[in-house]
Structure 1
Amino acid sequence: MQRLLAIMARLRDPDGGCPWDLEQDFASIAPYTIEEAYEVADAIDRGDLPALCEELGDLLLQVVFHAQMASEQGAFGFDDVANAISEKMERRHPHVFGDATHDDAEGVLREWDAIKRAERAAAGDADTSALAGIARGLPEWQRATKLQHRAARVGFDWPGPAPVIAKLEEELEEVRVEFAAVAREPGDAAARDRIEAEIGDLLFVAANLARHARVDVGSALRRANQKFERRFRSMEALAASDGTGLQGLSLEEQDRYWDLAKAREDN
């Protein structure tokens, strides 16, 4: 750890450091931090432990980078970051580091939320909503799930998946109606706005259905992306083996290659 901290300090040294690293600030590094977190998730999805080790290192470097920049401003250093999270973890696990007891994970989550609310109140945050504290910088699918989880904890939730599926069908029909309106008036800005709103409602309910199924939306979407990419690449390979390419083929001909790719995968 000390070696890594020393490397980062050297990279940021105005006297002989790396020009690229020296040009960076919190805002410019933030996208890389997010990207590295997704790389970690991808390695986990693939079950690739050597890659996971490497990607965790890349993610750790992001923490070190931000801490180094903060240290240069006299704000905080890496030790402060490590101490802060250590104190938080002990404070939020009184059933492990204190006298509290819980029989199940749900009890732990309820106390975690109660402790977070108390922390926000102590910091002067006057927002007492059950939805308080959900970061606005999260990917929207993740924020949707968190909003739904919080609402469910105070009882505002569908009793099971059946009414969620019914709502999903209702929202899909509303999307169909708005698509028809856009088709009639392609230049109508109000119609475009309505269809965006309806598609948003559809996606929000789909996220809720995933929550009821105890399926992580991000993981499910990653699997769908991976499946599409795998099959599309197989389509390209099949078309190339026939001495052609997908470009210029009719949709019907492309669909034939898609079906072949699916059949190859199923076998």
Structure 2
Amino acid sequence: MDRLRSPGGCPWDAEQTHASLVPYLLEEVHELAEAVDEGDRAGLREELGDVLLQVVFHARIAAEDAADPFDVDDVARDLVAKLVHRHPHVFAGADTPAERLHAQWDAIKKAEKHRDSALDGVPGALPALARAQKVAARAGRAGLDVPAALAAATGGAGFGDRLLALALEAHDEGVDAEGELRRATARLEQVLRSLEG
């Protein structure tokens, strides 16, 4: 990556920024999810490499920042520290029952990130069904009454209200709504392709 970004390297790579790479990062993550859905081991390996390329690319761009540089080694060190800190039941000998792990994880993240709400930190850019389920999961773990909040927030008649209700129903049943819709769409696509030819 250093060579690609350096003089005499690749002009396209050299002109990229964090912002210009976001669409490629998202595309690679979706391709990785597709390889997982399809059980494609060769595709999984390839797409993991493409996601890793995005990490290396972004870290290289960050290393060029004069005000606050960091590189891929810094990213890896921070990740290791975060994993150790968020898993005291593994690395610090704390005895935490399995049913308390989510609550422990949320409490640690809330303290790390100085969050005021259980919903802080749910990315707005998540796909809508996944975001709805993440909001419901966080709210439920915080003891909030999600069904009552849903009733207060929606009129129930619009498409968005119905989609939200379905996403929350899927969450209650332990179903990944985003994955289910992705797989159902793939089945529809397969049938439509067979009708074409």
> Alpha carbon RMSD of aligned pairs, Å?
1.7
Give CA-to-partner distance per residue, 1:8-44, whole Å, 9 cap, x none: 111101x211011111111110111111111111101
- Distance in 1, Cα, partners of 2:71 & 2:118: 33
TM-superposed CA distance for 1:199, in Å, is: 1.4
Structure 2 counterpart of 1:255: none
TM-superposed CA distance for 1:158, in Å, is: 4.5
TM-superposed CA distance for 1:146, in Å, is: 0.9
SS in 2 for 1:28: helix
TM-superposed CA distance for 1:114, in Å, is: 0.3
Is 2:103 aligned against 1:114? no
Structure 2 counterpart of 1:48: 40
Give CA-to-partner distance per residue, 1:129-161, whole Å, 9 cap, x none: 2212212222222211111111111141459xx
Match of 1:9 among 2, 6, 20: 2
Q: Which runs of 5 or more residues in structure 2 are unaligned? A: none
TM-superposed CA distance for 1:69, in Å, is: 0.5
TM-superposed CA distance for 1:88, in Å, is: 0.3
Amino acid at match of 1:156: D
TM-score by length of 2: 0.90
Amino acid at match of 1:219: G
- Distance in 2, Cα, partners of 1:155 & 1:28: 38
TM-superposed CA distance for 1:225, in Å, is: 1.0
Identity within the alignment, %: 47
- Distance in 1, Cα, partners of 2:120 & 2:85: 20
TM-score by length of 1: 0.67
- Distance in 1, Cα, partners of 2:186 & 2:82: 36
Is 2:88 aligned against 1:94? yes
Structure 2 counterpart of 1:143: 131
Structure 1 counterpart of 2:118: 130
- Distance in 2, Cα, partners of 1:120 & 1:54: 33
Bigger Rg, structure 1 or 2: 1
Instruction: Number of aligned residue pairs: give it.
Output: 189
